[in-house]
Chains A and B, each alone.
Chain A
Amino acid sequence: MAQEMIEGINPTRMELLKLKDREKLAVKGHSLLKEKRNALIMEFFNILERVKGSRDNVEEKLKEAFDDLTAAQVVMGDLAVQKAAMTVKESIEVDIESRSVMGVVVPLIDSKASERTMIQRGYGFVDTSVKIDEAARKFEESVKLIIELAEIEKTIILLAGEIESTKRRVNALEHIIIPRLNNTVKYIEMRLEEMERENFVRLKMIKKAMES
């Protein structure tokens, strides 16, 4: 792509000045975007540290929870479990703040899932099995983990999107726009010099003609 230029540019001094300004701006934008990209990638690596194994944890916890739930259903019957579940009180409070990473708004969850005793859960003990207590406890724990995982995964998705678009812009500037501006500037400079030389020669010729 040796000589790609901007089409339809007149080789004048005015255009040259304008193009030089544009080039300066493009270079500045490029270095800023590059910094942004690097910062985003750093943030991305930080969050990757946290995602490690967190999905596996959730899956494991849920598996245990479902096992206990099934056991409870076997012991008490499906309807009884549902009835008990209906009476359970709300346990999880989440506060969602947002945080801005280089202009990307990512969620920041503050969950207050309190460990509850059996009495606080709110279902009766007379007709419920101990398995349901186990299941409830495990589901509480999994909800906590799930919320954490949700935050991490969402952050990753948002950051990834932003990194991709920033990367694309950096590359476009670096490989297409800046070289193109550069080439055009060079072209105009060469044309202007050429015109100057032509003029010079013309003057010489005229002088010679007048002298002789």
Chain B
Amino acid sequence: MSSSIAVLADPDTVTGFRLGGVKDGYPVNNMEEAENTLKNLIKEDFSIIITTEKIGDELRETIDKLTKSSALPMIIEIPDKTGPMERATDPMGELIKRVIGVEMVK
């Protein structure tokens, strides 16, 4: 199955990824716009949706609901141009800890 990648992020990030060859960029400026666009994107056949950590944090519930059970689409959060966000907890680390029961060195 061949499929495509979409970028849902702030305009600068979208420009960057366009340069990198990902044509389906959806620049958004605020969270409402982001949420609506995300819902549309999921209905379409994108298999990987790249978004920024900021958007990801705001739309956590929507994302979780939409992606929890199925393998596709994959939504991946990346840092935007201001660099990685400072997070109190590392969500991946937390998950691994919960499953294995001990902290893994990452």
Contact = CB atoms under 8 A, between A and B. Distances in A.
A129 to B, nearest CB: 12
B72 interface: yes
Nearest to B83: A63
- Scoring A52, A58, A88 by chain B CB atoms within 10 A of each residue's CB, the highest score goes to A88
Interface stretch (A8-16, A136-144, A173-181, A199-207): A136-144
Contacts of A58: 78
B26 to A, nearest CB: 14
Nearest to A113: B21
Given A44-B99, A94-B4, A85 B21 contact: no
Contacts of A135: 16, 19
Interface string A27-69: 0000000000000010010001001110100110011011001
Contact of B71 (A81, A98, A136, A163): A98
Sorting the interface of chain B by its residue count into under 10, 10 to 19, 20 to 34 or 35 or more gives: 35 or more
Contacts, number: 136
Contacts of A69: 12, 15-16, 19, 81
A85 B100 contact: no
Q: Tell me the interface secondary structure of chain B in the complex.
A: mixed
A191 B11 CA distance: 77
A52 B106 contact: yes
B75 to A, nearest CB: 8
Contacts of A53: 106
Nearest to A85: B18
Given A82-B15, A164-B99, A139 B74 contact: no
Contact of B95 (A70, A132, A139, A156): A156
Interface in A159-184: 160-161, 163-164
Interface of A: 41, 44, 48, 51-53, 55, 58-59, 62-63, 65-66, 69-70, 73, 81-82, 84-86, 88-98, 105-107, 109, 113, 116, 121, 132, 135-136, 138-140, 142-143, 146-147, 149-151, 153-154, 156-158, 160-161, 163-164
5 contacts: A85-B19, A96-B47, A146-B76, A153-B74, A156-B96
